[in-house]
Chains A and B, each alone.
Chain A
Amino acid sequence: MKRLAVLLAVVLALFAELAGAQAIEPLPFKDHAQELRFQHLTAQLRCPMCQNETLADSNAPIARDLRHEVFRLMQAGRTDDQIKQYLVARYSDYVLYDPPVNPTTWVLWFGPLLILLAGAAVVVVTIRKRSRSGAPPPAIDHGDDW
């Protein structure tokens, strides 16, 4: 019974988190450009604790802490890449919604290109075959034959 109570509390806590999931937090930015940079950067980073939320959107305590950390590093003059590296060193590539291009992600980044090339080859072959075979196609518009 006690286990159930604990479980229930966890479930309720999760729900509360999802429901109130918003991260509205005024930070003392230097200027609007920095605020934009912050919004852009935190939208590309994943909250490590949440189901599937960005640092920008999550209301989880760790997301708040990491937002503050990003803000602090920004004030310290670090570049976006340095800030990303800082987080990756601590939380792994998992925090990047934009996975880096390396041998482990080649399939991800170049897979669609391969599929496109293969598909394009099939389309080209089909068109060539069909444009050579059979009677010459009609050249007159019937009006309804659109």
Chain B
Amino acid sequence: MTPELGQLALILALLLALAQSILPLIGAWRGNRALIAIARPAAAGQAAFVIVAFALLVWAFLHFDFSVAYVADNSNLALPWYYRIAAVWGAHEGSMLLWVLILNLWTLAVAAFSRNLPDDFVARVLGVLGLVSVGFLTFILFTSNPFARLLPMPADGGDLNPVLQDPGMTFHPPVIYMGYVGFSVAFAFSIAALLGGGMEQAWVRWARSWTNVAWAFLTAGIVAGSWWAYAELGWGGWWFWDPVENASFMPWLVGTALIHAQAVTEKRGSLRAWTILLSIFAFSLSLLGTFLVRSGVLTSVHAFASDPRRGLFILAFLAVVVGGSLLLYALRAPKVAGGKSFAVVSRETAVLVGNLMFTVAAAMVLLGTLFPLIGDAFNLGRISVGPPYFGFLFPLLMAPVVLLLPFGPFLRWGRGEPGVIGSIALRAGIAALACAIVAAFFVHGRARALVGVASAVWCVVGTLLYVYKRYREVPAGRRYPAEMAGMLLAHFGVGIFLAGVLLSESLSVTRDVRMAPGDTQTIGSYSFRFDGVKQTSGPNWTGSQGAITVSRDGSVVGVMHPQKRTYTREQVQTESAIDPGVTRDLYVALGEPMNPNDLGGAWAMRLYVKPFIRWLWAGGLFMMLGGFVAAGDRRFRTRRVADSERTMPAATNAGERLAAARESHA
């Protein structure tokens, strides 16, 4: 019975989504207050039904309802309860439901925190979000129903892919969807602005904190995914440039450009059309990611089971949503370059250059990801594009961004002072050079490690110089507004990230070794002693667990326990042991016994020493934190906008005149 209720809830949610999208959009167009007023209740109702549907699916998993095909496919009696909950989004159908759930949570939040925005604007925003929801609910109901019955009901289910039975994988999908779907808000705001007209600048101020939060979630999701790949896949790598990873990375790159472009548009009125276009791009790339992962168009390590019908549906949906908005952009985007002018040396220029590089990088990732498909289409033969391609071009494209990063805060809007720039470049440059020279004694002349140290110091010192400048020049209390603090945290994080990436890439050591109990292997100053393997078991697996004692200079650092597990359905999964540290990770993965019949004998094993690898996730977390902190700025919690200001097309001009008047006073 409950599965049917779930399906019913989804159908009702779809009907409310239709009401939420069509009626308020008509209302805002016709100026009909009654229709406009439908937006919020419809959004709340839709969210309620989606939450009910999701809860019923969770319930089905918790109660082993194997009459539901999706539950039977992805869980079994031995699976612990926390992984049964994670199994809700462990495969295609449930993850789509999670997508819609999160879209509804965002919509609900927009409905709740938009009391001081004009009603017709909010109606348009909720209408656009409703349209997106209509697409996804239709998709679920017609091609990917998680509540489909399986008859006769099996006595026990299949299994959740053991790769997904990991805490990192439990959190990764919800967080990354928070980011993906969060860009729908910026998208809806920009579409609402296009539909409404005359508010090219105002919408940006309202959208900024939403965009920052979405970006921060996406950052957190990518960090979690990368951490999971590192800890769980056992390859010791943290980024593979797989199509699925690229699918999440492209919206991040465009999103990064967007949060900077929004700052320009909000504060100076420039780049209005570009900011709208970026908002459309960011969300389109999120949709594209969903499409790529599920259509089976590209080969990827962790793609969902593909089905051409699903692919066609998402493609049609993509065509309507993205094509429609790009057409709307072409027709309605502000034609005249607005806003204040700026000099060649100015913050606007720096943001523009940064935007250019991020956008080109996203385009490069898109091209590389799709090129195998282009190869098929134009009969160029089957071509693989992998880490060597992306790993070569991406750093080249990001180098200008890293070089510009310290100057951003020092550069003033409108016109920066070249003298200040010179002195910052000198000081950060000297610091970077000095640290690189010191580091040279430790890294044995490995160029990449030196570049890592230099670029990290360049970013961190540049950022700290600005922190110090504000500390010296501005009275306490006004020194670090949230928006600025967020920016500084994120820029600081870039430095930490760079150090982590370049140092771990160039200094890591990997050894595949054969070890009998009692054997010792040495990597750098660490020696690994193998103390044999014993049998162990968990709730739904049995396995072999090795013991490796690691010591350094004669004193024991720790004992590591890598495992090789066999799950209920005979899937074999390696659980690596990681000894984390600030300056290095030790990482041991258990391979096969050299003689399959002698588990007590020698084993193949992989040992890693990975210096500073943790820094790259730490850097990512700083960026995420920056996004959240900046979103909390009080400036974004806008007062009620006077109706006269927003309906008058001259509103921005009035604002500019006001600003000009203030400047002439100063």
Whether A and B touch directly in their complex, counting CB atoms under 8 A apart, is answered as yes
A-to-B contact residues, CB < 8 Å: 12, 15-16, 18-22, 24-27, 35, 39, 43-44, 46, 51-54, 57, 92-99, 104-105, 107-108, 111-112, 115-116, 119-120, 123, 126-127, 129-146
Residue of B nearest to A117 (CB): B360
Q: Which residue of B lies closest to A18 (CB)?
A: B163
Which of B14-22, B340-348, B616-624 is the contact stretch? B340-348
Stretch at the interface among B30-38, B48-56, B181-189, B367-375: B367-375
A-side contacts of B356, CB under 8 Å: 116, 119-120, 123
* Nearest-neighbor residue (CB-CB) of A57 within chain B: B235
B interface list, Cβ under 8 A from A: 161-163, 233-235, 237, 240, 242-243, 270, 299-303, 337, 340-344, 346, 348-349, 352-353, 356, 359-360, 363-364, 367-368, 371, 374-375, 380-389, 393, 397, 409, 412-415, 473-474, 478, 481, 484, 510-514, 567, 569-574, 589-592, 604-606, 660, 663, 666
Shortest distance from the beta carbon of A118 to any chain B beta carbon, whole Å: 9
- Given A22-B234, A24-B592, A26-B512, verify A131-B393 contact (CB < 8 Å): no
Residues of B within 8 A of A44 (CB): 386-388
Which of B387, B570, B573 contacts A97, CB < 8 Å?
B387
Instruction: Find B569's partner among A12, A105, A120, A123 (CB 8 Å cutoff).
Output: A12
**Which A residues are in CB contact (< 8 Å) with B572?**
16, 19-20
A99 touches B666 (CB 8 A): no
Q: Select one of A20, A22, A112 contacting B393, CB under 8 A.
A: A112
Distance from A69 Cβ to chain B, minimum over Cβ atoms (Å): 17
The answer, among B163, B573, B666, for a CB contact under 8 Å with A140, is B666
User: B661 → chain A, closest Cβ, in Å?
Assistant: 12
Closest to A105 in B: B383
A127–B163 Cα distance when bound, in Å, is: 50
| Min CB–CB distance B415 → chain A (angstroms) | 4
- In the bound complex, CA of A140 to CA of B665 (Å): 11
Residue among A97, A104, A131, A141 making CB contact with B412, cutoff 8 Å: A141
- Provide the residues of chain B in CB contact with A112, threshold 8 Å: 360, 363-364, 367, 393, 397
- Whole-angstrom distance from the CB of A89 to the nearest CB of chain B? 14
Assess the A99–B352 pair: CB atoms within 8 A: no
| Beta-carbon contact of A104 and B375 below 8 Å | yes
B384 touches A96 (CB 8 A): yes
Q: Which chain B residues lie closer than 8 Å to A139 at the CB level? A: 415
Give Cα A141–Cα B412 distance, bound, in whole angstroms. Answer: 7
**Complex CA–CA separation, A130 to B172 (angstroms):** 43
A20 and B571 contact, CB distance less than 8 A: yes
Q: How far is the CA of A15 from the CA of B74 in the complex (A)?
A: 13
Is there an interface contact between A24 and B161, defined as CB atoms closer than 8 Å? no
Check B359–A94 contact: CB distance below 8 A: no
Give the residue name and chain of the A residue nearest to B570 (CB): A16
Residue of A nearest to B347 (CB): A146
Residues of A near B235 (CB, < 8 A) are 22, 57
Contact B415 A137 (CB under 8 A): yes
Q: How far is the CA of A100 from the CA of B79 in the complex (A)?
A: 47
Of the candidates A20, A25, A52, the one whose C-beta lies within 8 Å of that of B242 is A52
Do B414 and A108 touch across chains, with their CB atoms under 8 A apart? Answer: no
Other-chain residue from A22, A27, A135 in contact with B660 (beta carbon distance below 8 A): A135
- Asked whether, in the complex, the Cβ of B604 is within 8 Å of the Cβ of A92, the reply is no
Write the chain A residue with the least CB distance to B396: A112
Chosen A-B contacts, 25 in total, with CB atoms closer than 8 Å, are A15-B161, A16-B570, A16-B572, A20-B571, A24-B589, A26-B514, A97-B384, A97-B386, A98-B389, A99-B371, A105-B380, A108-B368, A112-B393, A123-B352, A127-B349, A130-B337, A130-B342, A131-B341, A133-B341, A135-B341, A137-B341, A137-B413, A143-B474, A145-B412, A145-B413
Which residues of the partner chain A approach B393 to less than 8 Å between Cβ atoms?
A: 112
- Collect the chain B residues with CB atoms within 8 Å of residue A18's CB: 161, 163, 301-302
Residues of A within 8 A of B270 (CB): 130
B570 touches A126 (CB 8 A): no
B344 with A97: CB separation less than 8 A: no
Q: Judge whether A25 and B375 touch: CB under 8 Å.
A: no
Q: Is the CB of B233 within 8 A of A21?
A: yes
B342–A116 contact, CB under 8 A?
no
Pairwise interchain contact A19-B161, C-beta atoms closer than 8 A: yes
Write out the residue numbers on chain B whose beta carbons fall within 8 Å of the beta carbon of A39. 510
Q: Tell me the smallest distance from the CB of A12 to a CB of chain B, in Å.
A: 7
Bound CA–CA A26/B603 (angstroms): 10
Please give me the 8 A-B residue pairs with the lowest Cβ-Cβ distance, nearest first.
A97-B386, A24-B591, A137-B414, A98-B388, A134-B341, A20-B572, A112-B364, A137-B415
Cβ distance B381 to chain A, nearest Cβ, rounded Å: 6
Evaluate contact between B382 and A94: CB separation under 8 angstroms. Answer: yes
Structural contact, A119 and B605, CB atoms closer than 8 A: no
Q: How far is the CB of A128 from chain B (nearest CB, A)?
A: 8
A85 to chain B, nearest CB (A): 16
**Which residue of A has the minimal Cβ distance to B470?**
A146
- Residues of A within 8 Å of B660, CB to CB, are 135
* Chain A residue contacts of B478, Cβ below 8 A: 143-144
Contacts of B301 in A (CB 8 A): 18, 51-53
Closest to A141 in B: B412
* Chain A CB within 10 Å, residue with most, of B242, B299, B302, B342: B342
B360 and A116 form a contact (CB under 8 A):
yes
Complex CA gap A140/B356 in Å reads: 28
User: What B residues does A120 contact at CB under 8 A?
Assistant: 356
Of the candidates A52, A54, A95, the one whose C-beta lies within 8 Å of that of B243 is A52
Q: Which residues of A contact B574 (CB under 8 A)?
A: 20, 22
Which of A108, A134, A136 has the most chain B CB within a 10 Å cutoff? A108
Q: Are B360 and A115 in contact (CB under 8 A)?
A: yes
Complex contact B299–A52 (CB within 8 A): yes
The CA of A54 and the CA of B412, in the complex, are separated in Å by 47
B346's closest neighbor in chain A, by CB? A137
A16 CA to B383 CA, complexed, in Å: 27
In the complex, the answer to whether A146 meets B484 with C-beta atoms within 8 Å is yes
CA distance A32 to B166 in the complex (A): 34
Query: Whole-angstrom distance between the alpha carbons of A57 and B590 in the complex?
Result: 14
Contacts of A93 in B (CB 8 A): 381-384
- Chain A contacts for B663, CB-based, 8 A: 138, 140
Q: Kindly provide the distance from the CB of B353 to the nearest chain A CB, expressed in whole angstroms.
A: 7
With A18-B163, A116-B356 given, name 4 new contacts (CB 8 A): A16-B570, A44-B388, A130-B342, A138-B663
A94 and B233 alpha carbons, distance in the complex (Å): 24
Interface contact A123-B384, CB-CB below 8 Å? no
- Of A27, A92, A139, A140, chain B has the most CB atoms within 10 Å of the CB of A139
Q: Do the beta carbons of B386 and A46 come within 8 Å of each other?
A: yes
CB distance from A140 to the nearest CB of B (A): 5
Q: Are A134 and B352 within 8 A (Cβ)?
A: no
User: How far apart are the CA atoms of A51 and B337 in the complex, in Å?
Assistant: 48
Closest to A96 in B: B384
Q: Which chain B positions have C-beta within 8 A of A53? A: 301
Establish whether residues B513 and A54, one from each chain, have CB atoms under 8 Å apart when the complex forms: no
Given contacts A22-B235, A104-B375, contact A137 B343 (CB under 8 A): yes
Please give, as numbers and ranges, the residues of chain A lying within 8 Å of B371 by CB-CB distance.
99, 105, 107-108
- Indicate whether A107 sits within 8 Å of B374 (C-beta atoms), given known contacts A46-B386, A94-B382, A98-B388: yes
Closest A residue by C-beta to B374 = A107
Give, as a whole number of angstroms, the nearest-CB distance from A94 to chain B: 5
Closest B residue to A8 by beta carbon equals: B158
A16 to B389, CA, bound (A): 30
